[in-house]
Structure 1
Amino acid sequence: TDAFDTEQLLECMGQLKRALPVNVPIYDFKNHRRCSERFRKVNASDVIILEGILVFHDQRVRNLMDMKIFVDTDADIRLARRIRRDTVERGRDVSSVLDQYGRFVKPAFDDFVLPSKKYADVIIPRGGDNHVAIDLIVQHIRTKLGMHDLCKVFRNVFVVQSTFQVKLIIFID
């Protein structure tokens, strides 16, 4: 975890959650280092998607998330995508990709990424091919945004967080 700048991530996410734009550092995968002179400007938004294979590792990062999604993809598909990406986009040869995968990537996945699945609110099997799960998540986000918009339009409206007790009260009345 020393390779990750969690403090920088927390700072960026904090600014975005306060509706402030941020300059996110860009990582150069060919040279294996952060570009000190280049940044990606990210503007504030009602929906922030934070993506990364180790994004659930730090509890402080997890606490910033309203919904935690683990996209579960078959190991063969993950390897095929890595080979394609690393050879085409990063100029590596297949032999070095397979060596790195066997020595570092697969063991790290088993030791760190897979156990983080327990922190997910939603697990999507079959990855991006699972259109039903994706549609449900999109609908959930749209519903939350609708509540947010309602509070913007009517300043005296407060949306109460849904809990078992609140649902029970609603059904009793």
Structure 2
Amino acid sequence: MTKPMVIAVAAVSVGGKTTITKKLKDRLAGAQALFFDSYDFEGAPENITEWVEDGPDYHQWELDPLMEDIQSAQHAPFLILDYPFSYKHERMKPWIDYSVFIDTPLDIAMARRLIRDEDKQGVEEELNHYLNGGRKAYLEMLHSIKPDADLIVDGTLGVEDIVEHIIKNLPSEHH
């Protein structure tokens, strides 16, 4: 059995992680994908804004279910993770071979959030949440996760261009 190349895709909230993960899965033959938001992790903070304000402890998250699923996917050539923490969680770090950060400007992420969540909350409520603490969570990603990435991709590019850039920049033995 060969171990898949595990590619973690990180970005700010609504920065394109899920879209790019799905497209990479489609483009890389035999790839599988796992999505962080599909899990209910023990230790996950109830309030992300407070978690960031308190000094985020990435190890607070019990990621065993995700790590078990990574271990179960050992037959795929590629495993794409929609995973926001890059190399910050020490127990998860050894499972990741290549980390990509989609550098999506905060104004674009906010516009996407407003479009995506328009039925759930009013625009004013979303913007107030962002201004009263949510922005700190976005900045945490830029200051802590982005510098750890093996590849930083311009989040203003189109989806196909982002995917192509990632594929072209994978370590040569994998593409």
TM-score range, shorter chain: 0.5 to 0.7
Could you say which structure has the higher helix fraction?
A: 1
Structure 2 unmatched runs, 5+: 1-40, 45-60
Q: Which residue of 1 aligns with 2:158?
A: 129
SS at 2:152 equivalent: strand
Q: CA deviation at 1:108?
A: 1.5
Structure 1 position 145, deviation (Å)? 4.7
Q: Shift of the alpha carbon at 1:142?
A: 9.6
Counterpart of 2:92 in structure 1: which amino acid?
Answer: V
Select which of 41, 57, 63 maps to 2:94: 63
**TM-score if structure 1 supplies the norm length?**
0.56
1:165 — aligned with what? none
1:2-81 pair list within 5 angstroms: 2-3=43-44, 4-16=61-73, 18-19=74-75, 45-81=76-112
Consecutive unaligned residues of structure 1, counting only runs of 5 or more, are: 20-44, 147-173
TM-score (norm 2): 0.55
Structure (1 or 2) with the larger CA radius of gyration: 1
Tell me: CA distance 1:108–1:87, structure 2 relative to 1, closer, same or farther (3 Å).
Answer: same
Distance 1:136 1:62, change over 3 A: same
Q: Deviations over 1:109-156 (max 9, x none)?
A: 22355311121110112344386664242245595456xxxxxxxxxx
* Overall identity of the aligned pairs, in %: 22
Pairing partner for 1:111 from 123, 140, 148: 140
Q: 1:54 to 1:127 in 2, by over 3 A?
A: farther
Matched residues in 1 for 2:160 and 2:137: separation? 28
Classify the secondary structure of the residue corresponding to 1:49. strand
What is the aligned residue count? 118
> Cα distance 1:129–1:68, how it changes in 2: closer, same or farther (>3 A)?
same
The alignment's C-alpha RMSD in Å is: 2.9
Task: Give the partner amino acid of 1:86.
Answer: D
Q: Distance in 1 between matches of 2:171 and 2:144?
A: 30
